[in-house]
């Protein structure tokens, strides 16, 4: 295809109507290749026939093979599907991928796999612009696990539910993941079976002096999440469960605000997760199960063996820009980590309401 053909195809894709209901708007480019739009406006690239296989883990997460209907009442067809976001510039990306697949010989008698393998690097680059990487996905699941627990203890109390949403600050760049008065929690997720976590700097483990003059009481919540084919939850599932809790007693605008904050989480690493349009994406269909019970550590415990600036001052190592990995034992001291992270967080938040702990 020439550049003129590319421009024409891009214009066609931009002009494809966003369908109502489940009726897709399709543009067939060859027997094995089509592009459609979903009801949320996303662009879908279909590679018809037997399942194609990706070598890139990222592309593999985005590939879905199944039977698809071009429109209501239309005959289903078997195809592998890749979904790209609805933003207008992704019409250009979809057009580029389609043209490169045609150039690579997707219509050849030996099937689409060789052409797909040739074009996979371009597909991977496009996906990196449209979806969150896996480490960000599990980080978000970890923080939403805490948010859901906060909401579970506040059902039928709209004011308290909104306050719980305000406790969550990890959707913003910088700062702590959760803040409760003088208390703060850094949530760290790992795909390991032990509490091994990466830190981007000493600040993540350094209590600060708060505007009130009080010293921050800092906690670290260690969560292990591993991909599973049978148990656990997907990111869309945990978001749906939070929507369900908020819908019980909170105003609709609180649900909207929660979804807005979820969509901003990790957006510097990709396009962010928009639940309304992305809940059906294959990239977010992986279930994650806990590899160990979550552990809530107190940072100010003298038994915590932490790197600090005073120690570094005796070396030639500069603290600025320092990144490191920390392996935490399952038991640091008698009450660290807390016997129950849920009970401990509830006790902290009860203290904020003036209710005696214990």
**If you write DSSP's letter for every residue of 154-221 in order, what string do you get?**
TTT-HHHHHHHHHHB-TTSSSS-SEEETTEEEEEEEESSSSEEEEES-GGGG---B-TTSPBPEEEEE
Sequence length of the chain is 358
pLDDT truncated to tens, each residue of the chain (358 aa)?
A: 444 488 888 888 888 878 776 667 788 899 999 998 888 788 999 999 999 999 998 898 889 999 988 766 678 899 999 988 877 788 899 999 999 999 999 999 989 999 999 999 999 888 876 678 889 999 999 999 999 999 998 887 888 888 899 999 999 987 899 999 999 999 999 999 999 999 999 999 999 999 999 999 999 999 999 999 889 999 999 999 999 999 887 678 889 999 999 999 987 755 688 898 888 877 788 899 999 999 999 999 999 999 889 889 899 988 888 999 999 999 999 999 999 999 999 999 987 654 333 3
Phi, psi dihedral angles at 36 (to 5 degrees): -135, 180
pLDDT of residue 119: 96
pLDDT of residue 358: 35
Residues 333 and 307: their CA atoms lie apart, in Å, by 18
CA distances from 314 to 101, 309, 321 (A): 58, 9, 17
Using one digit for the tens of pLDDT, what is the confidence trace for 286-313? 899 999 999 999 999 999 999 889 889 8
Give the count of alpha carbons within 13 A of 308, CB side only: 10
Phi, psi dihedral angles at 177 (to 5 degrees): -75, -40
Burial of 232 (0-12, 13-18, 19+ CB in 10 A): middle
| Contact assessment for residue 91 and residue 84, using Cβ atoms and an 8 Å cutoff | no
pLDDT of residue 21: 66
Phi, psi dihedral angles at 57 (to 5 degrees): -60, -35
Phi, psi dihedral angles at 157 (to 5 degrees): -130, 85
Residues 168 and 259: their CA atoms lie apart, in Å, by 13
pLDDT of residue 261: 95
Domain boundaries, the chain: 3-128, 134-352
**Residues pairing with 328 in the sheet:** 195
pLDDT of residue 301: 95
Give how far the C-alpha of residue 333 lies from the chain's centroid of Cα atoms, to the nearest Å: 33
Looking only at the bridges linking them, the beta strands covering 183-190 and 217-228 are parallel
Residues 182 and 224: their CA atoms lie apart, in Å, by 26
């Amino acid at each position: 295809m020439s550049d003129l053909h590319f421009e024409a195809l891009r214009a066609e894709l931009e002009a494809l109507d966003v369908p109502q209901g489940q009726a897709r708007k399709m543009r067939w480019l060859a027997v094995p290749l089509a592009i459609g739009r979903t009801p949320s406006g996303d662009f879908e690239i279909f590679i018809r026939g037997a399942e194609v296989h990706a070598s890139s883990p990222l592309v593999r997460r985005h590939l879905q093979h199944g039977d698809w209907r071009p429109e209501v009442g239309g005959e289903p067809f078997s195809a592998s599907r890749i979904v790209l976001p609805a933003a207008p510039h992704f019409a250009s990306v979809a057009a580029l991928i389609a043209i490169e697949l045609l150039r690579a010989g997707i219509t050849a008698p030996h099937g689409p796999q060789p052409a797909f393998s040739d074009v996979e690097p371009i597909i991977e680059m496009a996906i990196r612009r449209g979806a969150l990487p896996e480490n960000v996905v599990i980080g978000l699941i970890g923080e939403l696990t805490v948010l859901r627990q906060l909401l579970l203890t506040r059902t039928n109390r709209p004011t308290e539910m909104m306050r719980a949403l305000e406790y969550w600050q990890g959707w913003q760049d910088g700062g702590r993941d959760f803040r409760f008065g003088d208390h703060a929690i850094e949530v760290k997720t790992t795909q390991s079976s032990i509490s091994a976590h990466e830190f981007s700097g000493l600040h993540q483990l350094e209590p600060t002096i708060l505007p009130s003059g009080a010293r921050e009481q800092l906690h670290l919540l260690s969560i292990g999440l591993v991909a599973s084919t049978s148990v656990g939850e997907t990111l869309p599932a945990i978001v749906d469960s939070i929507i369900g809790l908020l819908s019980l007693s909170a105003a609709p605008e609180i649900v909207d605000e929660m979804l807005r904050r979820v969509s901003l989480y990790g957006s510097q690493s990709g396009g962010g997760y928009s639940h309304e349009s992305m809940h059906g994406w294959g990239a977010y269909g992986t279930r994650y199960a806990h590899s160990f019970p979550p552990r809530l550590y107190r940072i100010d415990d003298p038994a915590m063996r932490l790197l600090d600036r005073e120690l570094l001052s005796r070396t030639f190592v500069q603290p600025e820009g320092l990144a490191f990995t920390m392996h935490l034992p399952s038991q640091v001291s008698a009450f660290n980590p807390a016997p129950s992270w849920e009970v401990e967080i509830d006790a902290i938040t009860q203290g904020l309401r003036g209710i005696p702990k214990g």
